[in-house]
Structures are given as structure tokens and as C-alpha cells.
Structure 1
């Protein structure tokens, strides 16, 4: 929970905020689970935060707040979702430190061996050149001490090796945790956080290379009707079906994600405008090519269709601006009757109103 929200729920207005959160959940027909309650506390307490803006967008689109949607929002926006990244970074630092210690111990052992050899040679020379004396005994004592240090160093190396192995196991586990944190739990596509990071990196890259990026937004037509008619479990089935079709066209140069609710995004990094439109239309036809049946009852769910809008990035255009244009193209597809693809170039430009 963010510091602002944590402060809000510990002050005199805490109960009022809690009641508002409950009322907002009831109005949106959302179950007051602990996770939903935390989300709605953020929604009420921080109305201008990215989480609240996204929740408002989903509410405006009449998106059903299923467990999967709530989990996706929590992963994207709640502060604790950053924990795995911080732990992973800490693990990497620890691993580097252990590696540095291992190098230092190897170097120390090498020096100790050289020192022991030097002492041994000195003892031999002293024995050969003079009768036994206190100096010879001192050298012998130092040699014994050096051997003891070497034995302790061997033990330390074994302990270090064992610790190094455990840290590597921990890093592997933390990497899996990080992948989970960047993956939508329902569809197994990347989630919004992962996609936003990748898109920002891609935009920065193409500013240097001059390459092309096109961004498509995909929305399931009449998704609310599936939820209202058949329930959220069937709605989740529809989401997974569309996600599987999107996953089939995802490649190393096409990045896809579930962006929120029934909305998906695909970034194309090697295709021109005509190719992007062909791919999106092929995807649209593929999804509509079969009628779904409800898994629990085998009822006929009918055909699922999608609407898509896409935009090709303009020089120096920000990820937000690119997404805004692709989103505008999507809504042209929606208003034109759905089950179609629209380019941002074909979408009407917003009117600029000037006042004198």
C-alpha cells in the first residue's frame, strides 16, 4: 500500500474512505475481497494516480472486475509488485560480491602458497648454513602457522562454493518470480507493465536506428455481453481464446500483451503498414472462424469477434502519443460496426478549437 493511502486509512477520515470504497465496489458490482478493497482504497484516496486512472478507464468501458483483472491491476500498480524486481537486483549484487570474494580468496591462497614456499626455502638454507638457532625455530613456527591458514582457507573456499551455489539457485527463483510479475496470470501473455517498458525501450532504440514501429490495439467486441450472459468464468475463457490466437502470431519482432480488461496490444517492429494491416485482418478472421462452446455446460457461445486499430510511430513520438493514436483508430472500428481494422491514418483527426 502506498504511503499516501497508508496515511489516509490511519487518519480521522479513514472510516469515511473505507465506506466510500465499499460503496464504489458495490456500485461496480465488485466483490469486496481483500485485494479489491485495497485497489478501491487507492481508487478513492488517490484519484489522479495511474492506478485510479486505469480503473476509471476500465469502469468507463464496463469491464468486469474479475479476479484476473484485479490481480493484473495489482501486479501493474501496487507498490509491492516492485518487490520482486528489488529482490532480484539485491540477489545480483550479492552474487557479484560473492564472486569478488572468491577472486580475493584465490589471490590470497596464491600469495600464501608463495609465502609458505619462501619460508620453507629459508628454513632449508638456514639449516644448511648455520647450526640450529632461534631463527630457524621462528621460521618453522611461521611455516606451521601458514599451513594452518591454508587449511582454514580450504574450508572457507568450500563454504563459499556452497554459498555461491545457493545464491545461483536463489537468482534462478527470483528470475522466475520476476517473469511471473511481468506476465498476465490469466492469458500468459506479457502484462501492461512489461509491455510499457518494452515499448519505451523500442521507441528509444528506433530513434537511433530509424526503424519503424507500429502499434495495434485489439479489443473483444461485446465482451460485457459474455460476462453478463454467461458469467465471469466464461468471460475468462473468451479472454484466453483470443490471447491464444494473439500468441500464435507473436514472434521475436512482434511483442504482444494483455493491456487491461478485454484489451490487448501488439507492437510490430519489422512490418510495413500494409503488412501490419494484413496480419491484423488475418488475426481477426482467425478468431471469428470458430464458434466457442461453454466448457462447463457445452452451451454454444457463438462467434467471438475483435476490433483493432493501429498506428505507425512518427519521428520522436512518445509511447503515450502512439498509444493514443492507435486507441483512437480502435474506436473508429468500434463506431463503424466492430469486427474490423482501422489505421490511425484513416481515423478522423481531432478538431482544434480556437477562441478569439
Structure 2
């Protein structure tokens, strides 16, 4: 079905299809970003597809079509997004294989070296013994081994170069992986990295110890973007991200969850402990009067709202995210610029 859509976009119906997608996006108040446009072109072009069915469900449920929703749909249904994930996983597998090859090369070199030393030792131990035939045989083997050792010395240099090259390739793959797991605008972990980190944290939480999740949203960001433009909006996202990153160092995981939304994973920390970090972030963000870089105009203060939830025993990552989101919406309903807890006990504390 995807290939049919690609074919349509290169044919005479392309402009009509594009207009239809834009009209549908406008009707449902969806921002015309490149990713959203691609999703909605597939939606209007293939109404019987799994992607179209999922979008219809979102429309019927009255769910807002946020950047996070778009990224999830793209990862699940768009071939290019799925391919990126497969390439990333292939890189991880290749990196493991390179480790195995490096170990095997080093082991083979050490084994050959030890063999030569053993034969040389055996020849020396026969000196002075009445075993000329045996000694002659061992000397023959020693000569052969010496030749092998000489060849191995030449080969060893090549193996060292190869091992070094494998190391450089492994580092490059790791850098590619880091880039693929990092949000380019904010410098924080991206949605894929967040999902993996939350899964790991919840698995570790099964062994004992709390796991807390916080979700953060920039207040009135849409109207701010409408007033000042997307470039200034990007400046605000980078500013908020820098505060979050500074206030929540490792082993906490800070991520751009999507659009103007962020998330922080607190492995081993309770909601009560994590609440202090969220308040520090919120207060620092609102304490600064921002200026527009291009014109030096005052943009005013930015505020954020946050929701926080501590994982319950056996709770899934999806459920934890849902409860943290509910706490965030409670902050929005309560007037914004505040942090709300999903757990009433933690909130009271």
C-alpha cells in the first residue's frame, strides 16, 4: 500500500492528494509539519489502511494529534521510520559481532605464541639425552615453528591494525547509535531512547526499588509560537531542555517526549524525592526573562507544568506514562506553572 501512495505522489493526482491531506489536517487542527503531512497523505490516499484506521480511532475519541502521537504513528506505520529502527538494531548487533571477532583474533595470536614457546622448551629439555631421533624430530618441528612464528610476527602487525580498525568502526557505530537516540533540537534523549530507558527502569524496578516518571509541558506554547514564530519557539525548547538537563543528571534520563513535552525518568527515586527536582526545574525556568535572539525583544518569562507518578508494583511502562500524563493535565487544569502528583500521599508530602 505504501508503494501505491508513493506512486500516486509522482503522478497527475499528486496535487489533488496533497490538497486533500492539507484540508483534512486543517479540519482536525493538525500542524502541517513534514511528518504530519506524510502521515495524512497516507491517510487520505489509503483509507482502508491500518494507519487510516488508527487515525480514525483518534478522531472518534477526540484525541489531540500531538507531535508525540505523530511520531508514534510514523514509527509504527511509515516504512522509512520503521527502517531507521531496524538499521539502529542492526548496528547494535554488528557492534557485538565486532567484539567477538576482536576477542577471537587476540586469542588465536596468544595460542600460536604459546605453542611456539612450548616446542622450543621441549627441544631444550632433550639436550644431553640419548634420544637423537627424538631430538632430530623436535628440532625439525622447532624449525617449522620458528618459521610460523616469523610469519605470525608479520601477521600480528596486520591483526593489530585490523583490531584497531574494528575498534574505530565500533566507536563510529556507537556514535551513530547515540545520534539516532538523541533529539537534534534539544540535545536530550529522543522518544525512542526514552521508551527503551523506561522499559529498562521498570524491569530493574521489579528487582526492588522505586521508579518515578515526570512529564513536563511548556505552558501556552502554541500561542507563543503563533506570536513569535517557530524559530523563537525552538529557542524556548532549547532553553527549557538545558534547565532540565542541568537539574537532572545521570542516572536520571531526560528526554524530549514530543513537541513542547519533556520527560524525566528517576530510577531508584520515589515521587517524594523527585518532586524537589521538578520544583527546582519549574522555578529556574520561570525565573529568567527571555529575549528574542534576532531582535533582542523581551519575550517574557516562560512557565512549565509537570506531572509526576511513582511506579506501582507490576505496573507497565504505558500505565506509568498514562498516570504521569493525568497528573500533568491536573496541573494544567489547576492554573499551570505547577507540579501535580498522581499519588495523593506523595502530593500531600
What band does the TM-score fall into relative to the shorter chain? 0.7 to 0.9
Q: 1:184 matched to which residue of 2?
A: 183
The CA deviation at 1:281 is 2.7
Q: 1:334 matched to which residue of 2?
A: 332
Q: 1:197 matched to which residue of 2?
A: 196
Distance in 1 between residues matched to 2:68 and 2:91, nearest whole Å: 33
Within 5 A, what are the aligned runs for 1:1-356?
5=2, 7-9=3-5, 20=17, 23-24=20-21, 27=25, 28=30, 30=32, 47-48=50-51, 60=64, 77-115=81-119, 118=122, 144-209=143-208, 211-345=209-343
User: Which shows bigger deviation, 263-272 or 177-186?
Assistant: 263-272
Structure 1 residues 47 and 230: alpha-carbon distance in aligned structure 2, compared to 1, 3 A threshold: farther
Which stretches in structure 1 are left out of the alignment for 5+ residues?
Answer: 347-356
- Whether the 8 Å CA contact 1:294–1:301 is kept in 2: the answer is yes
Q: 2:347 matched to which residue of 1?
A: none
The CA deviation at 1:186 is 0.7
The CA deviation at 1:270 is 4.4
- Whether the 8 Å CA contact 2:119–2:138 is kept in 1: the answer is no
- Whether the 8 Å CA contact 2:190–2:256 is kept in 1: the answer is yes
Distance in 1 between residues matched to 2:265 and 2:286, nearest whole Å: 22
In structure 2, the residue corresponding to 1:208 is in which secondary structure? Answer: coil
Structure 1 residues 9 and 115: alpha-carbon distance in aligned structure 2, compared to 1, 3 A threshold: farther
In structure 1, the residue corresponding to 2:206 is in which secondary structure? Answer: helix
Distance in 1 between residues matched to 2:342 and 2:132, nearest whole Å: 95
Distance in 2 between residues matched to 1:23 and 1:95, nearest whole Å: 51
The CA deviation at 1:160 is 0.7
Distance in 1 between residues matched to 2:86 and 2:149, nearest whole Å: 44
In structure 2, the residue corresponding to 1:78 is in which secondary structure? Answer: helix
The CA deviation at 1:287 is 1.0
TM-score by length of 2: 0.77
User: Which shows bigger deviation, 308-317 or 249-258?
Assistant: 249-258
Which stretches in structure 2 are left out of the alignment for 5+ residues?
Answer: 345-349
Distance in 1 between residues matched to 2:258 and 2:288, nearest whole Å: 24
The CA deviation at 1:301 is 1.4
Structure 1 residues 156 and 39: alpha-carbon distance in aligned structure 2, compared to 1, 3 A threshold: farther
- Whether the 8 Å CA contact 2:119–2:141 is kept in 1: the answer is no
The CA deviation at 1:60 is 2.3
Distance in 2 between residues matched to 1:258 and 1:184, nearest whole Å: 7
- Whether the 8 Å CA contact 2:21–2:37 is kept in 1: the answer is no
Give CA deviations for 1:218-264 in whole Å, capped at 9, x if unaligned.
Answer: 00111111221221111100101111111121123432211001000
Distance in 2 between residues matched to 1:245 and 1:13, nearest whole Å: 43
Structure 1 residues 278 and 29: alpha-carbon distance in aligned structure 2, compared to 1, 3 A threshold: closer
TM-score by length of 1: 0.75
In structure 2, the residue corresponding to 1:316 is in which secondary structure? Answer: coil
Distance in 2 between residues matched to 1:48 and 1:221, nearest whole Å: 30
Structure 1 residues 17 and 204: alpha-carbon distance in aligned structure 2, compared to 1, 3 A threshold: farther
- Give the alignment's Cα RMSD to 1 decimal: 4.0
